[in-house]
Structure formats: structure tokens, C-alpha cells
């Protein structure tokens, strides 16, 4: 693609560094911004803010505007339970359910030998320290049910074995509203093996 302008070319190159933005989409975005000049200011300010003012919560490593995030700072939340998650996106997903009132701990990933991520690179020591110094009673493993996720859960459970803390994990099985016919074999098979006694509360 030939650009008539070096400025446009630079902007296209900068934007096409973003995930799933190719040169063509970047050009579309750039030409949109050329038209809508006032949006540029909005975006520039918010990105500068992102770079300069965003912090990791010192407690749970969630992204935050302050040293301590809104969840950790909330006195109404149950400080005895910590849900360990991979990323801030998982915090958002769980918060959206409105079914959890405890705290979080953002690991920053999962153990993945294939991608060269081992336990040292995750915030596991920080979790251990947090548990030691506060009155935490339960750790929920809010980690994806993948091979890497399960490896991480296994590693964490081993590390926490000596502590008297209760360790729990998300229930696994067929998805609510899902169609049995289209559920993958592994999930369906395991949900039979891990069947639970019928209870009215499940259907609520």
C-alpha cells in the first residue's frame, strides 16, 4: 500500500501494532480520525492517562487508579476469601456475575512451560505472603480449566498444603443454557463422572 503521506503511514504503523488490527483496519481507523479530529484528543488523553497514572493494586495486583484498588479498599467485602485469577479480565468477569464478595489475587498468567512461563514469573510468593499476614480462610482457584490452568492449581495447592487454608475450585460441567448435544465429549463425560445429588437450589 502506498501512502501519500508519511504522517498517515506512521499512524498506520503505530495502530497496526495493536492486536488484530492489520494495516487495512489501521488505515480505516486513521482516516476516521482524520475526519473526527476531536476524537483524537480523547484517545490521546486517555492513553496518556493509562501510561502515566494506572497502577497495580499493592494488595491484589488488580489494575487500579490508586495504590489500593476499589475492591480491596471496600470495607463491605469479605476479607477472609481470596479468589486467585489469571488476569484482570477474569476479575471483571467474576465481578459481573455479582456472586462473589471476597477479594482477588491476580497471578498475571498461568504456569506454561510451552510459553516459557514458570511459577517464578507469577505473583505466587505475593499470594503466600498475603495469606500469612492476613486472616484468610479460603482460597478459590478461579483459574481456567485448561492444562496450564490445572497445572497452576496443582502447583498452588501443593504450596498451600501446609497452611490450614481451605482450597476450593470452580465447579466444572455442562454450561447453563448450553445444549447437551453440542457439549464437547470431555466436558460431558466428566460431568457424568462428577455428577452431584439433585438439589432444588441448582435449578435456581
Q: Which of 8, 165, 169, 188 binds a copy of itself (CB under 8 A)?
A: 8
73 makes contact with a copy of itself (CB under 8 A): no
CB count, 10 Å around CB of 116? Answer: 7
147 makes contact with a copy of itself (CB under 8 A): no
58 makes contact with a copy of itself (CB under 8 A): no
Q: Which of 22, 58, 70, 115 binds a copy of itself (CB under 8 A)?
A: 70
Pairing of strands 78-85, 138-141: parallel
Q: Choose the stretch contacting a copy of itself; rule: CB under 8 A; options: 47-55, 114-122, 162-170, 186-194.
A: 47-55
Helix (H) or strand (E) holding 168: strand 166-169
Residues 76 to 135: which contact a copy of itself by CB under 8 A? 87-89, 91-92, 95-96
Nearer to a copy of itself, 33 or 165 (CB): 33
Dihedral sign for Cα atoms in the order 23, 42, 44, 33: positive
What distance in Å separates the CA atoms of residue 155 and residue 128, rounded to the nearest whole number? 12
What distance, in Å, lies between the first and last C-alpha atoms of the chain?
A: 56
4 makes contact with a copy of itself (CB under 8 A): yes
Tell me the sheet residues that pair with 168.
140
What distance in Å separates the CA atoms of residue 59 and residue 142, rounded to the nearest whole number? 17
The site for a copy of itself, by CB under 8 A, has a size of: 58
Burial code (b: 16+ CB inside 10 Å, e: under 16) for 50-77 equals eeeeeebbebbbbebeeeebebbeeeeb
Q: Choose the stretch contacting a copy of itself; rule: CB under 8 A; options: 67-75, 132-140, 145-153, 168-176.
A: 67-75
28 makes contact with a copy of itself (CB under 8 A): yes
Contact residues: a copy of itself, CB under 8 A = 1-8, 10-11, 13-15, 17-21, 25, 27-34, 36-37, 39-51, 53-54, 62-65, 69-71, 87-89, 91-92, 95-96
Amino acid at each position: 500500500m502506498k501512502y501519500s503521506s508519511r504522517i498517515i503511514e506512521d499512524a498506520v504503523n503505530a495502530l497496526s501494532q495493536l492486536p488484530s488490527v492489520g494495516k487495512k483496519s489501521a488505515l480505516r481507523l486513521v482516516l476516521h480520525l482524520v475526519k473526527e479530529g476531536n476524537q483524537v484528543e480523547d484517545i490521546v488523553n486517555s492513553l496518556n492517562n493509562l501510561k502515566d497514572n494506572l497502577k497495580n493494586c499493592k494488595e491484589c495486583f488488580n489494575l487500579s487508579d490508586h495504590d489500593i484498588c476499589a475492591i480491596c479498599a471496600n470495607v463491605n467485602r469479605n476479607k477472609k476469601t481470596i479468589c486467585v485469577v489469571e488476569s484482570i479480565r477474569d476479575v471483571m468477569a467474576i465481578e459481573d456475575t455479582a456472586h462473589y464478595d471476597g477479594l482477588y489475587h491476580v497471578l498475571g498468567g498461568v504456569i506454561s512451560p510451552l510459553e516459557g512461563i514458570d511459577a517464578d514469573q507469577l505473583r505466587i510468593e505475593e499470594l503466600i505472603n498475603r495469606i500469612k499476614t492476613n486472616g484468610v480462610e479460603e482460597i478459590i482457584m478461579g483459574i481456567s480449566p485448561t492444562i496450564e490452568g490445572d497445572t497452576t492449581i496443582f502447583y498452588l495447592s501443593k504450596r498451600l498444603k501446609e497452611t490450614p487454608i481451605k482450597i476450593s475450585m470452580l465447579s466444572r460441567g455442562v454450561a447453563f443454557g448450553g445444549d447437551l448435544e453440542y457439549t464437547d465429549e470431555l466436558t460431558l463425560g466428566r460431568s457424568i463422572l462428577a455428577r452431584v445429588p439433585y438439589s432444588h437450589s441448582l435449578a435456581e
